[in-house]
């Protein structure tokens, strides 16, 4: 501690590699400073790589580099000596205040003003923003990406990836419980939710590091802070004590969305969670009520039911997953019931009450009758809404969609201000991560002079219930509403050899064929690997393939993909391995 009181005493400071998270060594990729060069605290001295992620070694002192002890491409280990600095360690008093004394914190608190220039500034580092940044850099643009939280956005940190990690843990747990049916034995089976969450966090951390690595490889400048658009060519952001003004030719807004909530009395009680809270639980409740039977609600219903929680879903509409065809809804509702998930549709939650015993009581009305359900936890899963926080859309003159939900864009992802684009959930078009990524690519291509548009008619939807559900193109319900004359082909997984070997007999593949042309207009799958299999149907719809085109394509045996082939046959001339 004595160093803190020495007046600017210089010394030789060792620069060593700190401990490494998940590996024993790293490679020196770049050396950014030379012997004899001046440095200050925070200056990046070295860039390293380990496990396909990159990180920096920064100076903790102010002074002159007296010696560099490593070379580029050299492998180093934790605690290895990398350089020496002749100077003053961070924390020593080296500057005086107005009275001649030492001001330990004055320079630290004083904002550092910086100015930068670039071709494209992207606000938001989610699946839309970071993909746009990589695409732009690959096309030769100088890119700055601003992210206030963690790279990957909601999808990677609080949505798609973490929920799928929990889905997999629930799947493994239930496979163990069902081991006897496969001729295997498993005893003392249980769930450790803390370890489930820990595994989820490790996966997220690995993927975030991977994104950071790729961005650095493409020389994308990432700034941690909240971006504020001053005008069509100026973005201001605070990064720690730095105040950065960015002069930019183009701006892409990719600020995503946030959880919606309903004005239900009691929604602020401690027992009420949103999806982010549900992903951080360190203890499983015995009973849970989920408000909302859409995609988020139904995924969590199957996740927690899979972990042994008593789950009840309360949905305002007359059906859960209302965007799907009735046969899909009927099938997943039947499966949910078989798993003990109770579903109340056509029901409106009136109130959430905290009981004397610590439990909560959800009060809802159905068919003009009040009903009451007790639960340890209540999950609010009523969708998401565009995040316009921090965007002064009125001052900028940005035009919003009808009802003011989301930024209005054309098919090129361009706003009413020519050099400002918006992508992802903030546009309120289709709130899906893969849509945001594709919109990001479309926006960048147009900025870089390559005409591009997005086709919203071929957007696959994926729901990770048990079994999975996926859909693309026009459904049977939509076709009838639009007056399109179609034929439907269906094939059950109960007739699939591969599905039966997996112990999966639930669900089916459904193909929608236009009668007059024979073209595949859409399809839906409920069953094993549905979210992977939907890609074949999406490609068929996108390319305008006919049923005959798919029939003539040889599908490997035994695979679940054969069910698509059979469903297409059913829509054309009749399935081979199933008779209605």
Reported as type and span, the H/E element at residue 333 is helix 326-338
pLDDT at residue 104 in the model: 44
Asked if the structure places residue 175 within a domain, the reply is yes
Asked if the structure places residue 485 within a domain, the reply is yes
Q: Are both 300 and 356 inside the same structural domain?
A: yes
Q: Are both 495 and 543 inside the same structural domain?
A: yes
Quote the CA–CA distance of 252 and 415 in Å, as a whole number: 10
Asked if the structure places residue 499 within a domain, the reply is yes
438 given a catalytic annotation: no
Domain CATH for 374: 3.50.50.60
**Nearest CA-CA partner of 466 in 302, 233, 579:** 302
- Given 381, 401, 435, the domain boundary residue is 381
**Percent of the chain surpassing pLDDT 70:** 93
Choose the catalytic residue: 434, 557, 565, 577: 557
The tens digit of pLDDT for each residue in 46-80 reads 888 877 667 778 888 889 999 999 998 898 988 88
Asked if the structure places residue 100 within a domain, the reply is no
**DSSP per-residue string spanning 202-259:** HHHHHHHHHHHHHHHHTT-EEEES-EEEEETTEEEEEETTEEEEEEEEEEEE---EEE
Residue pair 448/139 in contact by the 8 Å Cβ criterion: yes
Token pair 């102010």 is found at 62
Q: Are both 291 and 365 inside the same structural domain?
A: yes
Residue pair 555/562 in contact by the 8 Å Cβ criterion: yes
Strand partners, 351: 363
Q: Are both 48 and 170 inside the same structural domain?
A: no
Residue 421 carries which DSSP code? Answer: E
**Nearest CA-CA partner of 203 in 260, 137, 157:** 157
Quote the CA–CA distance of 454 and 438 in Å, as a whole number: 8
Quote the CA–CA distance of 249 and 551 in Å, as a whole number: 50
Asked if the structure places residue 507 within a domain, the reply is yes
Q: Give the CA count within 13 Å in the CB-facing half-sphere of 381.
A: 29
Instruction: Count CB-CB contacts under 10 A for residue 428.
Output: 23
282: helix, strand or coil:
coil
pLDDT at residue 3 in the model: 35
Domain span at residue 482 reads 467-572
**Nearest CA-CA partner of 144 in 75, 229, 84, 61:** 229
pLDDT at residue 97 in the model: 42
Domain CATH for 24: 2.40.50.100
Q: Token digits for 198?
A: 């820990």
**CA dihedral (51, 55, 61, 63) positive or negative:** positive
- Given 363, 381, 399, the domain boundary residue is 381
SS (H, E, C) 191-217: CCHHHHHHHHHHHHHHHHHHHHHHHHH
Q: Are both 284 and 375 inside the same structural domain?
A: yes
Contact residues for 126 (Cβ-Cβ < 8 A; gap 6+): 152, 153, 154, 155, 156, 254, 256, 424, 433, 436
* Cα–chain center distance at 443: 19
Q: Are both 120 and 249 inside the same structural domain?
A: yes
What backbone torsions phi and psi does residue 330 show, to the nearest 5 degrees?
-60, -40
Q: Are both 305 and 356 inside the same structural domain?
A: yes
Contact residues for 496 (Cβ-Cβ < 8 A; gap 6+): 558, 560, 562, 563, 566, 577
Residue pair 426/255 in contact by the 8 Å Cβ criterion: yes
Q: Token digits for 120?
A: 């494209």
Residue pair 48/55 in contact by the 8 Å Cβ criterion: yes
pLDDT at residue 94 in the model: 40
Reported as type and span, the H/E element at residue 29 is strand 25-31
Asked if the structure places residue 56 within a domain, the reply is yes
What backbone torsions phi and psi does residue 79 show, to the nearest 5 degrees?
75, 0
3-state helix, strand, coil in the chain (%, to 5): 30, 30, 40
**Percent of the chain surpassing pLDDT 90:** 78
Asked if the structure places residue 330 within a domain, the reply is yes
* Cα–chain center distance at 34: 40
pLDDT at residue 403 in the model: 78
Instruction: Count CB-CB contacts under 10 A for residue 40.
Output: 13
Quote the CA–CA distance of 491 and 229 in Å, as a whole number: 53
Quote the CA–CA distance of 305 and 23 in Å, as a whole number: 36
SS (H, E, C) 48-78: EEECCEEEEEECCEEEEEEEECCCCCCEEEC
Strand partners, 246: 116, 235
Q: Are both 315 and 181 inside the same structural domain?
A: no
Measure the CA angle with vertex 426, ends 161 and 266; round to 5°: 75
Q: Are both 132 and 217 inside the same structural domain?
A: yes
Q: For every one of its 580 residues, what pLDDT tens digit does the chain have, with 9 covering 90 and above?
A: 233 333 445 688 888 887 665 567 888 988 989 999 999 887 889 888 877 667 778 888 889 999 999 998 898 988 888 999 998 876 443 443 444 444 444 444 556 788 999 999 999 999 999 999 999 999 999 999 999 999 999 999 999 999 999 999 999 999 999 999 999 999 999 999 999 999 999 999 999 999 999 999 999 999 999 999 999 999 999 887 788 999 999 999 999 999 888 999 999 999 999 999 999 999 999 999 999 999 999 999 999 999 999 999 999 999 999 999 999 999 999 999 999 999 999 999 999 998 877 789 999 999 999 999 999 999 999 989 999 887 888 899 999 998 778 999 999 999 999 999 999 999 999 999 999 999 999 999 999 999 999 999 999 999 999 999 999 999 999 999 999 999 999 999 999 999 999 999 999 999 999 999 999 999 999 999 999 999 999 999 999 999 999 999 999 999 999 999 999 999 999 999 999 7
Q: Are both 254 and 172 inside the same structural domain?
A: yes
Quote the CA–CA distance of 486 and 328 in Å, as a whole number: 18
Q: Are both 358 and 506 inside the same structural domain?
A: no
Burial of 384 (0-12, 13-18, 19+ CB in 10 A): buried
pLDDT at residue 40 in the model: 86
Reported as type and span, the H/E element at residue 352 is strand 347-354
**Nearest CA-CA partner of 440 in 160, 135, 153, 218:** 135
Burial of 488-512, coded b for 16+ CB within 10 Å and e otherwise, reads bbbbbbebbebbeeeebebbbbbbb
Q: Are both 364 and 391 inside the same structural domain?
A: no
Reported as type and span, the H/E element at residue 46 is strand 44-50
pLDDT at residue 113 in the model: 85
Asked if the structure places residue 163 within a domain, the reply is yes
Predicted model pTM:
0.82
Domain CATH for 554: 3.30.390.30
- How many domains in the chain? 4
């Amino acid at each position: 501690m004595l160093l803190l009181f020495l007046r600017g005493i210089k010394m030789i400071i060792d620069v060593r590699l700190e401990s490494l998270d998940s590996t024993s060594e790293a490679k020196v990729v770049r050396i950014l400073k030379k012997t004899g060069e001046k440095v200050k605290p925070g200056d990046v001295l070295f860039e390293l790589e380990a496990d396909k992620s990159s990180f920096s070694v920064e100076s903790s002192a102010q002074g002159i580099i007296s010696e560099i002890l490593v070379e580029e491409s050299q492998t180093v280990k934790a605690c290895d000596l990398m350089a020496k600095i002749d100077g003053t360690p961070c924390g020593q008093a080296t500057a005086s205040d107005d009275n001649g004394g030492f001001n330990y914190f004055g320079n630290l608190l004083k904002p550092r003003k910086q100015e930068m220039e670039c071709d494209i500034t992207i606000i938001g580092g989610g699946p839309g923003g970071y993909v746009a940044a990589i695409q732009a850099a690959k096309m030769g643009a100088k890119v700055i990406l601003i992210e206030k939280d963690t790279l990957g956005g909601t999808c990677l940190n609080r949505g798609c990836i973490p929920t799928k990690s929990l889905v997999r843990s629930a799947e493994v747990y239930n496979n163990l419980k069902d081991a006897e049916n496969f001729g295997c034995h498993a005893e003392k089976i249980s769930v450790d939710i803390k370890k489930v969450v820990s595994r989820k966090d490790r996966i997220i951390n690995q993927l975030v590091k991977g994104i950071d690595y790729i961005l650095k490889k493409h020389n994308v400048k990432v700034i941690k802070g909240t971006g504020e658009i001053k005008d069509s060519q100026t973005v201001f952001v605070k990064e720690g004590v730095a105040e950065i003004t960015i002069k930019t030719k183009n701006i892409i807004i990719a600020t995503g969305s946030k959880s919606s909530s309903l004005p239900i009395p009691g929604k602020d009680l401690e027992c009420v969670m949103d999806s982010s809270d549900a992903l951080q639980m360190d203890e499983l409740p015995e009973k849970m009520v989920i408000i909302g039977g859409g995609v988020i609600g139904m995924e969590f219903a199957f996740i927690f039911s899979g972990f042994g929680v008593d789950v009840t879903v309360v949905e305002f509409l007359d059906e859960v997953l209302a965007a799907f065809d009735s046969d899909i809804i009927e099938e997943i509702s039947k499966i949910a019931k078989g798993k003990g998930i109770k579903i109340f549709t056509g029901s409106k939650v009136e109130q959430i009450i905290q009981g004397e015993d610590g439990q909560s009581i959800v009060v809802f009305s159905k068919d003009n009758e009040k009903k009451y359900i007790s639960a340890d936890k209540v999950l609010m899963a009523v969708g998401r809404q565009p995040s316009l926080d921090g965007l002064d859309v009125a001052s900028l003159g940005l035009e919003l969609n009808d009802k003011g939900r989301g930024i209005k864009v054309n098919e090129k992802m361009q706003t009413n201000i020519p050099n400002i684009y918006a992508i992802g959930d903030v546009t309120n078009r289709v709130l899906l991560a893969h849509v945001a990524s594709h919109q990001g690519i479309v926006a960048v291509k147009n900025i870089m002079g390559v005409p591009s548009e997005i086709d919203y008619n071929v957007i696959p939807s994926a729901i990770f219930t048990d079994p999975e559900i996926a859909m693309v193109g026009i459904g049977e319900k939509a076709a009838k509403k639009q007056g399109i004359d179609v034929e439907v082909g269906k094939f059950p997984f109960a007739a699939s050899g591969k599905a039966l070997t997996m112990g999966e007999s639930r669900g089916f593949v459904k193909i929608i064929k236009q009668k007059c042309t024979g073209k595949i207009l859409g399809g839906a799958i409920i069953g094993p690997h549905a979210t992977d299999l939907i890609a074949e149907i999406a490609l068929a719809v996108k390319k305008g393939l006919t049923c005959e085109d798919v029939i003539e394509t040889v599908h490997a045996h035994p695979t679940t993909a054969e069910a698509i082939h059979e469903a297409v046959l059913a829509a054309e001339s009749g399935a081979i391995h199933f008779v209605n």
